Structure 1
Amino acid sequence: MEIKKPEISEMETAKAHIIVEIIEYVPNSVVIKTIIKKSTGNISIMSFDSGEGLTEKTSPFDTFAQIIEGSAEIVIDNVSSHLDTGMGIIIPAHLPNYIKPNGRFKMIQTIIKSGYE
């Protein structure tokens, strides 16, 4: 699996975007593009090719994950949730989690850093 590093540039502001078209699938890869990055949190869009997911990790911040195309399984603290297009889930801070693919899918990930001072 190859993970493409997030692009540093943010999306153009004050312009409408079709979010699902901002990022493309790349064979055998997970692609991550930053939509907006601030000290209080960031929003990224991700595409996962078939068979690609993310290994278990634990974040110090709450994260909201929303599937915008396809479907995936998100496992939080050993509890599995199946998400289809349009569905989202809050991944609480400090809980182990990982993403299991269900074919190709795209998602938006929003990390909230404020409130942890």
Structure 2
Amino acid sequence: MSTDPTAPEVRNLKQMLQYQEQAVVSRMLVKNPAGNVTLFAFDGNEGLSEHTAPYDALIIGVEGRAEVTLGGVRHTLGEGDSLLMPANVPHAVHPVGGFKMLLIMIRGVKE
């Protein structure tokens, strides 16, 4: 094991973030000009109301299950499932019990 805190390390996404009662917890894993990667843990009764984002995003289910509404269409997302969400399309996340997901947001490159 390296003593360098910046050294790459294999981590388990399920164990990196714990559920908190009546809360949505998040942890930013990567943030740079190209985009960011955020891990979320939703308590069973918590979610994200409908909103839009200015960038394309990819959701990857890490644990549990959720109903994700994207442009008015409902999708069921479970562990290992992914859903691409285009920029500016309304979306919402409604967990079915505890749910963990990885959100990868990609910013457009300006030329």
Match of 2:76 among 79, 82, 97: 82
In structure 1, what is the equivalent of residue 28 of structure 2?
A: 34
Q: Which amino acid aligns with 1:76?
A: L
Alignment of 1:43 with 2:43, yes or no, is no
Alignment of 1:1-117 (within 5 A): 12-115=6-109
Go from structure 1 to structure 2 and tell me whether the alpha carbon gap of 1:116 and 1:30 turns closer, same or farther (over 3 Å shift).
Answer: farther
Gaps of 5+ in 1: 1-10
Q: Which amino acid aligns with 2:108?
A: S
TM-score, normalised with respect to structure 2: 0.91
Q: In 1, distance between residues paired with 2:78 and 2:107?
A: 26
In structure 2, what is the equivalent of residue 3 of structure 1?
A: none
Write out per-residue CA displacement over residues 17-76 of structure 1, whole angstroms, 9 at most, x where no aligned residue.
111100000000000100010011000000000111001111110000011100001101
Gaps of 5+ in 2: none
- Structure 1 runs (4+) deviating above 3 angstroms are none
Matched pairs, number: 107
Q: In 1, distance between residues paired with 2:94 and 2:52?
A: 15
Q: In 2, distance between residues paired with 1:16 and 1:100?
A: 29
Q: In 2, distance between residues paired with 1:50 and 1:101?
A: 6
Write out per-residue CA displacement over residues 64-116 of structure 1, whole angstroms, 9 at most, x where no aligned residue.
00111000011011000001111010011010000011110100000000335
Q: Is the partner of 1:17 in helix, strand or coil?
A: coil
Please say which structure displays the higher CA radius of gyration: 2
